Amino acid sequence: MAFSALAAGVSGLQAFTEGVGVIADNITNVNTIGYKETRSRFSTLVTETSSRSSYSPGGVRAFAESLVSKQGLLQPSSSSTDLAIDGSGFFTARTGDNATDNSGELVYTRAGAFTEDSQGYYKNTAGLYLMGWRLDSAGNPPANLQSPSVLQPINISQLNGISEATSTVAMRANLQASTAVYAGTPAYAATGGQLASGAITPDFQTNIQIFDSLGREHTVLVSALKTAPNEWSYEYHFSDPSVLDTTAQPNGLIAQGVMNFNTDGSIDIETINDAATTTLFSVNAGTRTAVTLPAGNLAFAYSTAGDALVSPGSINIDFGTDGLGDGWTQSESDSALITKSVDGAKFDNVNGILIDENGVVSATFENGLSKEIYKIPVAVFDNPNGLQRRQGNAYGVSDLSGEVTYQQAGKSGAGKVATNTLEGSTVDLASEFAELIKVQRAFSASTRIITTSDQILEELTRI
pLDDT at 2: 61
Domains delineated in the chain? 2-67+426-462 (no CATH), 74-162+349-423 (no CATH), 163-346 (2.60.98.20)
Question: Please, what sign has the CA dihedral across residues 213, 216, 217, 219?
Answer: negative
Q: Give residue-wise pLDDT tens across range 369-419.
A: 778 889 999 999 999 999 999 988 999 999 999 999 999 999 988 999 999
pLDDT at 17: 83
The helix/strand/coil state of 242 is helix
For residue 59, how many other CB atoms are within 10 A of its CB?
21
Whether residue 438 contacts residue 411, with contact meaning beta carbons closer than 8 Å, is answered with no
Residue 277 has pLDDT above 70, yes or no: no
Beta bridge partners of 124: none
At 418, which amino acid appears?
A: A
Please provide the average confidence, as pLDDT, over all residues in the chain. Answer: 84
The answer to whether the pTM exceeds 0.85 is no
Maximum average pLDDT range among 4-18, 74-88, 352-366? 74-88
pLDDT at 275: 46
Residue 77 has pLDDT above 50, yes or no: yes
Rounded to an integer, the average pLDDT of 353-379 is 86
Q: Give residue-wise pLDDT tens across range 259-270.
A: 889 999 888 876
pLDDT at 16: 82
Confidence of residue 134 (pLDDT cuts 50, 70, 90): very high
Tell me 198's DSSP state: T
Phi, psi of 352 (to 5 degrees): 180, -170
Confidence of residue 439 (pLDDT cuts 50, 70, 90): confident
Residue 191 has pLDDT above 70, yes or no: no
pLDDT at 43: 78
For the chain, the straight-line distance linking the first and the last C-alpha, in angstroms and rounded, comes to: 16
Distance CA 165, CA 368 (A): 18
